Amino acid sequence: MAGHSNHPDKHHGAHGMHHGGHQDDAAFLETNRNHWNKFAASYSSEPWQKDMLNKVNAFIYANIKWIGVDFVDPSTTFEVTDPGQAKKVRVLDYACGPGTITHALSSRATEYVGIDLSENMVQAYNLRFNSATTDANSGDEFLNAHAEVGNLLTTEEPPETFSGAKYHDFDLVVVGLGFHHFSDVRLATKRLVERLRPGGVFLILDFVTHAMEAEEHPELKATANTVAHHGFSEQELKEIFAGAGLRGFAIVRMGDEVYIRGKSKRQPFMARGSKI
């Protein structure tokens, strides 16, 4: 996913999922790109990273129906069907990093398009899902998945490169652990929702913030107000999604915690909405 740092504290280092982009600040973008380029080779080398990836995968599996996409049944992947009748499920994995979300969804979709700021993350993604280079024992089966370097979140119109049919009418647009890195989340959400087909689902996977915790535990509110962090309350997310033309907002929390660098506790959540 868009692997930035691991949540509110921007310099945690990373999780193997990924990051997004401070679209209007060229210096920030360059710093971000360079950081993730360096990080691409070791995104899952630490025990805490592996633990987080395993828990996130399990969280996605457990809520696959909740996501609201009519996915392909993985058990039918190799059944011979009439190509003209075969179901197509297209996913845009934005700020894709090395492909954590793509790997988690796997053969439930028939096509994945990844986009990331980092050239090295894109390279890692493409090596991971390329049948010619995928190790049969690595657990990363061949998927119809390809990533490209790019940024769709500029205030200007996105580059001509991303204007074709290949980059529109997705059944699912997903941002994994990158949403909190977007400088203008309202613009980012609108830009990404534009890529969905009507009825398509916009999904983010991120970390529960102090603001969300305070909503459930009022006694934390005084403390939360003293903490400067880049987070969103559930109400804020609901308004951001509605403002981008999404309906049916829903949120689900993991109910378990992951540890960033083995120290900072975070609870992942997923939030979704459907394009009107």
Q: Is 183 exposed, middle or buried (0-12, 13-18, 19+ CB in 10 A)?
A: middle
Residue 208 is predicted with a pLDDT of 84
- Answer whether residue 257 shows pLDDT above 60: yes
Domains and CATH numbers, the chain: 26-73+85-275 (3.40.50.150)
Name the pLDDT band for 24 (thresholds 50, 70, 90).
very low
Q: Measuring CA to CA, which residue among 34, 45, 23, 5 is closest to residue 155?
A: 23
- Answer whether residue 119 shows pLDDT above 50: yes
- Answer whether residue 52 shows pLDDT above 80: yes
Residue 260 is predicted with a pLDDT of 78
- Answer whether residue 245 shows pLDDT above 50: yes
CB distance 60 to 74 below 8 Å: no
- Answer whether residue 33 shows pLDDT above 90: no
Mean pLDDT for 75-93 is 75
**Residue pLDDT, tens place only, 164-213:** 999 999 999 999 988 887 878 899 999 999 999 999 999 999 988 766 76
CB distance 96 to 102 below 8 Å: yes
Mean pLDDT of the chain: 79
* Residues listed for the chain: 276
More confident residue, 92 or 82: 92
* Cα–Cα distance for residue pair 23/102, rounded to 1 Å: 24
- Answer whether residue 154 shows pLDDT above 50: yes
- Answer whether residue 30 shows pLDDT above 70: no
Residue 40 is predicted with a pLDDT of 54
Here the tokens at position 227 are 């903490």
More confident residue, 152 or 135: 152
Residue 212 is predicted with a pLDDT of 75
CB distance 264 to 272 below 8 Å: no
Residue 74 is predicted with a pLDDT of 83
Selection from 26-30, 73-77, 104-108, 184-188 with the highest mean pLDDT: 104-108
Name the pLDDT band for 139 (thresholds 50, 70, 90).
very low
Residue 123 is predicted with a pLDDT of 92
Residue 200 is predicted with a pLDDT of 98
Exposure class string for 99-129: b at 16+ Cβ within 10 A, else e = bbbbbbbbbbbbbbbbbbbbebbbbbbbebb
